[in-house]
Structure 1
Amino acid sequence: MNDTQQESFNPPQIDLKKYIRSIPDYPKKGILFYDISTLLRNADAWQIAAARMANGVAKWNPDLVAGIESRGFVSASPLASALGCGMIMIRKPGKLPGKTISLNYDLEYGQNCLHIQEDAVKPGQRVVVVDDLLATGGTLQASIELLRKVGAEVVGAAALIELKGLKGREKIDVPLHSVIIYE
């Protein structure tokens, strides 16, 4: 990272929570949904959020940023661009062309499956995995395991929002950077 890039990662100190809309009882009763679309559509707030994520992740010197379907792609793409590295996708079954490697994992309410293209990572490449939200940690940790399965060295993880009370951070076995934390 050169001096110009370092300066661009020095975002102003504003409260990004002011740009996140809370929607009660979505997608079902009892859930408080944090809607990032209100942050994304505000150019200044989104630039600051992206810069804060880049600032927190740059120290891990990744070769690749892996975005988790689908909202993880939104944060992973500008992060990869800011860091000058490539971006790969972790997707649900049937969404990636070519040969894929999969991982089934348990959730608190069932099972899920993630896929990555077989040739997405060269053995030993340094990868940071990114999602929009860290809740219970199941999907993020499964993504880390899938990346390791294809030979990646997972050096960190990042989330735009972390719901601290759900203790997902405790399941993640790599360093984690969260831009916005809700208790």
Structure 2
Amino acid sequence: MLRDVYLRAGVLDTGSYLTTVNELCDQLPALRPELLWYVTSHLRTRVDLTGVDKVLVEEEKGAPIGTAFSLMTGLPLAMARHYPYDFPSPRIGFSSEYDRSTLNVNGIEQGDRVCVIDDTLSTGGTVAALIGAVRELGAEVTQVAVVVEKADNGGRELLERELGVPVHSLLSIKVAPDTVHVVEGIA
């Protein structure tokens, strides 16, 4: 099911990277509940949540997946949001393949053990910024779980080798100007 979503995905040239437009990440077409359940249940089998206190997602594309994951696992959901609040919460800058912005990391406290969930791992910029914010708060990211990893964009290397956080993904893809190639992963 997930493979089919990416094989049917549209491809957009951002000027720096080729990115996909699809049902899971962009709700084009609308996200089917069975796809969300499929993705979430498979992500759950990939991660060891022993000792994990919270799930952290970025609100734009990770929110549907993180919400379903929180409901499935019973773990509290923390969210990194684009708009600021009038109370203290770390504001982090990040750069990804399609955005340069800031996020407020809400719901993480000192001593928490966190699993970061995201839709796509490409350059690793967004997730690396989240890991930095979690560490700044005196908490720990134990692992990262992503639905799709763009092979050859350096995200896994950044997170695992440079930041020491293991990454779990369901599907690895390569994006060409007119198509998406599935490299490996679930059916």
Q: TM-score scaled by structure 1?
A: 0.77
The counterpart of 2:171, out of the listed 155, 162, 180, is 180
Residue matched to 1:74: 64
The counterpart of 2:87, out of the listed 98, 112, 128, is 98
For 2:121 and 2:29, the matched residues in 1 are separated by 17
Instruction: Quote the offset at 1:30 in angstroms.
Output: 6.9
Give CA-to-partner distance per residue, 1:26-61, whole Å, 9 cap, x none.
Answer: 556972414123687333333221101111124454
Identity %: 24
The counterpart of 1:148, out of the listed 135, 141, 151, is 135
Q: TM-score scaled by structure 2?
A: 0.76
For 1:104 and 1:142, the matched residues in 2 are separated by 7
Q: SS of the residue aligned with 2:123?
A: coil
Contact 1:22–1:32 (Cα < 8 Å) also in 2: no
For 2:141 and 2:16, the matched residues in 1 are separated by 36
Give CA-to-partner distance per residue, 1:76-98, whole Å, 9 cap, x none.
Answer: 1111121111001112242x453
- Is 1:16 equivalent to 2:2 in the alignment? yes
Instruction: Quote the offset at 1:62 in angstroms.
Output: 1.5
**Which 5+ residue runs of structure 2 have no aligned equivalent?**
175-187
How many pairs are equivalent?
166
Instruction: Quote the offset at 1:16 in angstroms.
Output: 1.7
Instruction: Quote the offset at 1:110 in angstroms.
Output: 8.4
Contact 1:134–1:168 (Cα < 8 Å) also in 2: yes
Instruction: Quote the offset at 1:160 in angstroms.
Output: 1.5
The counterpart of 1:112, out of the listed 92, 101, 116, is 101
Give CA-to-partner distance per residue, 1:85-136, whole Å, 9 cap, x none.
Answer: 1001112242x4532212234557985322113xx22321110111111111
Letter in 1 for 2:74: G
For 1:161 and 1:97, the matched residues in 2 are separated by 34
Letter in 1 for 2:88: K
- Is 1:169 equivalent to 2:144 in the alignment? no
Greater relative CO (CA pairs within 8 A, separation 6+): 2
CA spacing shift, 1:176–1:29, aligned 2, 3 Å:
closer
Instruction: Quote the offset at 1:24 in angstroms.
Output: 2.5
Q: SS of the residue aligned with 2:111?
A: coil
